[in-house]
């Protein structure tokens, strides 16, 4: 699949929220508005239990589906885990890898992120790889160091054509669910670093075509100013994606910002 950052890419990570009926109602509302939102790539990322019903609510829709996690093995005795082919079967085109909550609570590391990226690409599931620094790291001036390590170790052994299939989401941990958003300038500095690093390691085209999302307290009120930044191609939205009205507003603001850049 060829990726492009010509449109803003807005993904809603629902985390551990929504029953099946609630999920279906939310995507129904989003789908009704989707004909006005064709200038954005929209992805919803429900919990596993709702994936299949969400898919069945969106036949022929431009809204795509992602999962929040998976295990790198294809199948077997791994109680409690879900594989890439299972996610494909449930209708997913994308999968989030290495979200900070998984790194913090479930022991994910750059090494497991790397294995998951390889497994997702092998099954044509596009990875949304999350990276970001903690509050302490930011305060100590270690943001760029942290990002560089996460990218280098997460991408270990991957080739240029694989790198060009990876969506990167910069999510400063201190901005997630806290209401503290990185300022557009703070976010842009990190996004520019990421793009330049990709260009340096994998060529200018890989750098310029990369889709780099920002995540961390994205709301209708800050979506425009973040998306207006040159190197911010979209948003990974948590809390504000749980409600159709605010998620649609974020998408509209992103479309407006993209047109004006």
Report, as residue numbers or ranges, the catalytic residues: 99, 171
Residue by residue, what is the 3-state secondary structure of the chain? CCCCCCCCEEEEECCCCCCHHHHHHHHHHHHHHHHHCCCCEEEEECCHHHHHHHHHHCCCCCCEEEECCCECCCCCCCCCCCEHHHHHHCCCCEEEECCHHHHHHCCCCHHHHHHHHHHHHHCCCEEEEEECCCHHHHHCCCHHHHHHHHHHHHCCCCCHHHHCCCEEEECCHHHCCCCCCCCHHHHHHHHHHHHHHHHHHHCHHHHHHCCEEEECCCCHHHHHHHHCCCCCCEEEECHHHCCHHHHHHHHHHHHHHHHHC
Nearest distance from C-beta of residue 208 to ligand 13P, angstroms: 25
Question: Any residues with CB less than 8 A from the CB of 18 and at least 6 apart, and which?
Answer: 26, 46, 47, 50, 242
Nearest to ligand 13P of 69, 165 (CB atom): 69
Q: How far is the CB of 178 from ligand 13P (least distance, A)?
A: 7
Q: Write out the residues near ligand 13P by the rule CB under 6 A.
A: 13, 99, 171, 176-177, 215-218, 236-240
The smaller minimum CB distance to ligand 13P, of residues 155 and 174, is found at 174
In the bound complex, which residue of the shown chain has the CB atom lying closest to ligand 13P?
Answer: 238
Which lies closer to ligand 13P via its Cβ, residue 202 or residue 214? 214
Query: Considering beta carbons, is residue 19 or 243 the nearer one to ligand 13P?
Result: 243
By beta-carbon proximity to ligand 13P, the closer residue of 164 and 241 is 241
How near is the Cβ of 254 to ligand 13P at its closest, in Å?
Answer: 14
């Amino acid at each position: 699949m060829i990726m492009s950052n010509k449109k803003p890419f807005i993904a809603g990570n629902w985390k551990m929220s929504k029953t099946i009926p609630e999920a279906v109602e939310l995507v129904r509302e989003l789908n009704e508005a989707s004909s006005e939102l064709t200038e954005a790539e929209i992805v919803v990322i429900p919990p596993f239990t709702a994936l299949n019903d969400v898919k069945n609510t969106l036949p022929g829709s431009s809204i795509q589906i992602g999962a929040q996690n998976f295990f790198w093995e294809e199948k077997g005795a791994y109680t409690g885990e879900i594989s890439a082919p299972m996610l494909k079967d449930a209708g997913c085109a994308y999968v989030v890898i290495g979200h900070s909550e998984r790194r913090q609570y479930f022991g994910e590391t750059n090494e497991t992120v790397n294995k998951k990226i390889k497994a997702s690409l092998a099954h044509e599931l596009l990875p949304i790889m999350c990276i970001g620094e903690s509050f302490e790291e930011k305060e100590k001036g270690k943001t760029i160091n942290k990002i560089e390590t996460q990218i280098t170790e997460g991408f270990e052994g991957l080739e240029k054509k694989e790198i060009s299939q990876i969506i990167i989401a910069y999510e400063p941990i201190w901005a997630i669910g806290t209401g503290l958003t990185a300022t557009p300038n703070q976010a842009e500095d990190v996004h520019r670093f990421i793009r330049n690093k990709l260009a340096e390691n994998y060529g200018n085209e890989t750098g310029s075509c990369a889709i780099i999302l920002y995540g961390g307290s994205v709301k209708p009120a800050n979506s425009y100013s973040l998306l207006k930044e040159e190197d911010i191609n979209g948003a990974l939205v948590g809390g504000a994606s749980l409600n159709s009205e605010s998620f649609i507003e974020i998408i509209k603001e992103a479309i407006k910002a993209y047109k004006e850049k």
